[in-house]
Chain A
Amino acid sequence: MNLERLPNEEKLGLCRKYYLIGFAFLPFLWLVNVVWFFQEAFIKPAYSEQLQIKSYVKRSALGLLVWVTVLTTWITIFQRFRAEWGEVGDYISFTIPLGTP
């Protein structure tokens, strides 16, 4: 789909849809939303729907940031302490690397 050819109302609808579906634990959708609509929201000359698109892109970016922070923190803690947690560490692991504690 080429964003250029879309009327502005549909752009807004699309942006809102991506933003809303992103709440279903889909941070990557927010990432797509940010990348895809960045030009529309911040670079293109102003048009009536731009303000709303801008707000959706910002919120998507914020959500994405929260996700990235939470995941990075958790992954760091998990990788660092999995061996020390012993039994619990094993039960919450999906794959356990062979031959390491």
Chain B
Amino acid sequence: MCCISSFYVFVTWSQIFTKPPCAFILFAYFFKIFFYFSGVGCNSVEKKIYVHLNYTFPCVRLLNATHQIGCQSSLSGNVGVLHELESEENLDWVLTSGPNPPYMVILESRLFTRSIMMKLKEGSGRVAGVVVVAPNINPPEGFSPHTACPNDNSGVYTENYDPTLAHCNATVWNPLGNGLAYEEFDFPIFSVKDDNDTRVIRQCYQDHNRRVNGSNPQFPLCAMQLRSSMSAVTNTATCKRRNDINFSLTPDRVCDELGDFNIWASSRPMNTTTKGHKEFESVVIAAARMDSRSFFFDIAPGAESTASGIVTLLAAAHALRRATQEAPPNRTILYTFFQGETFDYIGSSRMVYDMENNQFPLDLDNIHSVLEVSQVYILIYLGLWLHSDPVSRKNSSVKEEVEKLVNGLKSASAGLNVSVDEPDVSQPLPPSSFQRFLLARPIPGVVIGNYRSSFTNRYYESMYDNAEYLNVSYPENMTSEEQLEHFPETVKTLTEVATLVARALYVQAGGNETQLANITADPQIVNQMLYSFLVRANNSWLQQLVPTDFTNHLADRPTNFYVGVIQYFSEPTTLVQYMLANMTGSVVNVTQEDCQKQREDKDDDQSKHLYTYMWVQGAAPPNSTEREGFCVRSTVHRSIAVSPAFELHEYTTSNYSTWTESVWKPITGRIFLVASHDLEMLTLGVGITVLLTSLVLTYVISSKADILFSSGREPTSATY
């Protein structure tokens, strides 16, 4: 097809420059018509010049109240000659000695370190961009692009609260954190998977750019263009202001706030239409966070940092369903999943704000205590740690409740293969949603995690915090169905932890201890959930639990836990919503129409205040292909998780999260060969010379036309 279209171009031009015979013109027009109708659009020249990169993950621009982080290219993309970095000493070529700057630096993931990246940032005049080749095996030495003290400025430990505990003075939670994900780069940084794309890039580099015997590589050289042009700049206040200026010809949005929804469910129905304080209601909040991030935009596997907590709490909620229905404890258990916690506690700060302003069905007075499930992936024989706040424990009533909660957890672990212990009494809480509740008032609570004074997670908030790290792996030859039945070792320990959490919650809510033996988490459920979050959401188990129109959203890859902007649903939010409904709710015999209208039957207008009804597609019976849907009645609700700063229009506040994400032009990457600068200039020079010569020549010819074209013939006018 491509050669035909070049032929067509040739034909059209030949019409202009020559006088082709009639038949030829007809032939050409025939082709023209043919191409109009067949709709063939073949950009052959472009295809011959460029090789496009298909699977790239960019780093994008995020902004908060005071500054910007992330990466950005120029409007049309940054172009640089490829250079593969072999070691840190090799940087010299890129930063000073190489003859063809700017360079597009290819990094093995082991070289994606703070020291190299900061040197590249300093010498950014000679650096066009960076490509990080993501390995198929996690780096054994650990890697965390997050800060060493996560959410340092938004937690409860400020100078006013206790100066000795502020800014991780007492203990550094994420010692491997190098803070790269919070740096600003003015060149694009992309990640590519180690597959076909990478092979093409490497081949191009080997063929054209490698130095042979110490001599400089000869033109043409292999170059790469990376384009990730960001619209927002400076800080959130600036970009929000520019969003609101509708004066210009093209009112473009430049940034959007990060946020999504929190998911919560209560162990007994609660009227959600009336907001504010509920009389005689006392709740135990069981919390987990729902989001994670990494250096790159759409990879946030968050296996240990996020999924382990979600799965444990969901499994605990499932284990508690029977006991809370048959022998309800005095207090209500509120399962809450907070979204956007990575970015200065968006979800929890909003829920606390809503409780304070009577926008939530409960208020802070209704909260009895909090049990938060942090990172809880453990290997056998390693224990869990129960963290509490030393400052609020100075209050005797809080201290008493915390001790009760700790003792509850300790006694719950009695029959299980999990040991629990407390860290030093003076140690502060790790980064947790619970801190936002403490910021409002001293509430007793415990954060349960697999670390004592610093995270055991070696890949906190990085792209390596994945299924492989949690040892959630399945034999190669298994089908998806078989994998759902196969339990990795992790499932067993997480099931134990879920049982522990469930029993402790039941005791904390005032339940009867004789029931405890009946409360055990189901390893099958744990496995199915782990598989859905860490391997693929699109599996036969989860398909049964979601409505038909949602099946298209189930992905064939690990869940991306990045919270994203408010306009888009975050993947884990909806998954958790449907899972929680299934874990805590019950199947009711209601028609599809009534179910979708949130009622039990035609005359029922009360149930919608207490319950949420979801029509899910269910499974197909063995001898049929038609799925049999059913109605799930649960107490699962969404509550908005957008920082109060945006509600209050306070974009420079330090009290709440102010994170926004820039809007961007299409993100692309491509490689091609470039000629030397001299050759480019020569071509341009020749072109301009030809143009000028032709202008002069035309002028001369037209001014001397009467002499040049008279050619001895008699002037025609003279004959008359």
A contact residues vs B (CB 8 Å cutoff)? 86-87, 90-91, 93-96, 98-101
A91–B230 CA distance with the chains assembled, in angstroms: 21
Is B252 in the interface zone, CB < 8 Å from A? yes
Contacts of B254 in A (CB 8 A): 98
Please give the distance in Å from A101's CB to the nearest CB on chain B: 5
Contacts of A99 in B (CB 8 A): 72, 75, 229-233
Is B249 in the interface zone, CB < 8 Å from A? yes
Interface size bracket, B side: 10 to 19
30 pairs, CB–CB < 8 Å, chain A vs chain B: A86-B238, A90-B238, A90-B241, A90-B242, A90-B245, A91-B245, A93-B245, A93-B248, A94-B247, A94-B249, A95-B248, A95-B249, A95-B250, A96-B242, A96-B245, A96-B248, A98-B229, A98-B230, A98-B231, A98-B252, A98-B254, A99-B72, A99-B75, A99-B229, A99-B230, A99-B232, A100-B233, A101-B233, A101-B234, A101-B238
A98–B231 CA distance with the chains assembled, in angstroms: 5
A95–B251 CA distance with the chains assembled, in angstroms: 9
Which of A95, A99, A100, A101 gathers the greatest number of chain B CB atoms within 10 Å? A99
Contacts of B247 in A (CB 8 A): 94
A91–B248 CA distance with the chains assembled, in angstroms: 10
A55–B254 CA distance with the chains assembled, in angstroms: 52
Contacts of A94 in B (CB 8 A): 247-249
What is the interface of chain B mostly: helix, strand, loop, or mixed? loop
Please give the distance in Å from A93's CB to the nearest CB on chain B: 8
A90–B229 CA distance with the chains assembled, in angstroms: 20
Across the interface, name the chain A residue whose C-beta is closest to B248.
Answer: A95
A94–B252 CA distance with the chains assembled, in angstroms: 13
A66–B275 CA distance with the chains assembled, in angstroms: 66
A63–B369 CA distance with the chains assembled, in angstroms: 78
Which of A95, A96, A98 gathers the greatest number of chain B CB atoms within 10 Å? A98
Please give the distance in Å from B661's CB to the nearest CB on chain A: 14
A92–B75 CA distance with the chains assembled, in angstroms: 23
Interface residues of B in 235-263 (CB under 8 A from A): 238, 241-242, 245, 247-250, 252, 254
| B241 lies within 8 A of A87 (CB) | yes
Please give the distance in Å from B239's CB to the nearest CB on chain A: 10
A16–B238 CA distance with the chains assembled, in angstroms: 49
A93–B232 CA distance with the chains assembled, in angstroms: 16
User: Can you add 10 more A-B contacts, CB < 8 Å, to A94-B248, A99-B72?
Assistant: A90-B241, A94-B249, A95-B250, A98-B75, A98-B230, A98-B252, A98-B254, A99-B229, A99-B232, A99-B233
Contacts of A96 in B (CB 8 A): 242, 245, 248
Contacts of B252 in A (CB 8 A): 98
Across the interface, name the chain A residue whose C-beta is closest to B231.
Answer: A98
A99–B187 CA distance with the chains assembled, in angstroms: 12
Contacts of B242 in A (CB 8 A): 90, 96
Please give the distance in Å from A60's CB to the nearest CB on chain B: 32
Contacts of A100 in B (CB 8 A): 233
Contacts of B248 in A (CB 8 A): 93-96
Across the interface, name the chain A residue whose C-beta is closest to B72.
Answer: A99
Contacts of B245 in A (CB 8 A): 90-91, 93, 96
Contacts of A86 in B (CB 8 A): 238
A93–B248 CA distance with the chains assembled, in angstroms: 8
A91–B238 CA distance with the chains assembled, in angstroms: 11
Contacts of B75 in A (CB 8 A): 98-99
Across the interface, name the chain A residue whose C-beta is closest to B245.
Answer: A90
Across the interface, name the chain B residue whose C-beta is closest to A96.
Answer: B242
Indicate with 1 or 0, residue by residue over B266-294, a CB within 8 angstroms of chain A CB atoms: 00000000000000000000000000000
